[in-house]
Amino acid sequence: MDRERTLVLIKPDAVERNLVGPIIKHFEKNGIFVRAIKMTKLSIDKAKSLYAEHEGKPFYSDLLKYITSGPIVAVIIEGSDSVKRVRSLIGNTNPEEAEDGTIRRLYAISKQKNSVHASDSPNSAAKELDCIFNTRLAV
């Protein structure tokens, strides 16, 4: 597959614990490239846009509260089949079920405070990249 771009968010719990460098290094040592990076604090409106597919689910309001609770680091990742590869590197949403060596197994505190978000498809990546970086990027 051609190079594609995807979004990774390093969430407030990981930023607070100074894990930005180790998380980015995890991607880089696996041949995935950082193309843009910024630290920001999500507004409630951006968070609602980012997590719109979860609206109405029991955890939705807690998710919004958490993701807007502190700064995040947004990263545009690029590489061959990057969406699939990044999802594999971050591991299961529940860190207790994540494979050894994955980012969530290494750094997550809980299922909610799981340190990273990553787009789950090329279509989601395009939408999420636009939401966070305010630009349409080819993925």
Asked if the model's pLDDT at residue 139 lies above 50, the reply is no
* Confidence (pTM): 0.92
SS3 83: helix
Active site residue 117: yes
- Whether the CB-CB separation of 117 and 11 falls below 8 Å is answered with yes
Token pair listed for 127: 């939408």
pLDDT tens profile 21-37: 999 999 999 999 999 99
Q: What is the CATH number of the domain that holds 11?
A: 3.30.70.141
139 occurs within a structural domain: no
Overall domain count for the chain: 1
pLDDT tens profile 44-93: 999 999 999 999 999 999 999 999 999 999 999 998 999 999 999 999 99
Asked if the model's pLDDT at residue 99 lies above 80, the reply is yes
CB atoms within 10 A of CB 65: 12
pLDDT tens profile 110-137: 999 999 999 999 999 999 999 999 865 4
CA distance 46 to 130: 11
Of residues 26, 85, 117, 127, which has the active-site annotation?
A: 117
65 occurs within a structural domain: yes
Domain range holding 33? 3-133
45 occurs within a structural domain: yes
62 occurs within a structural domain: yes
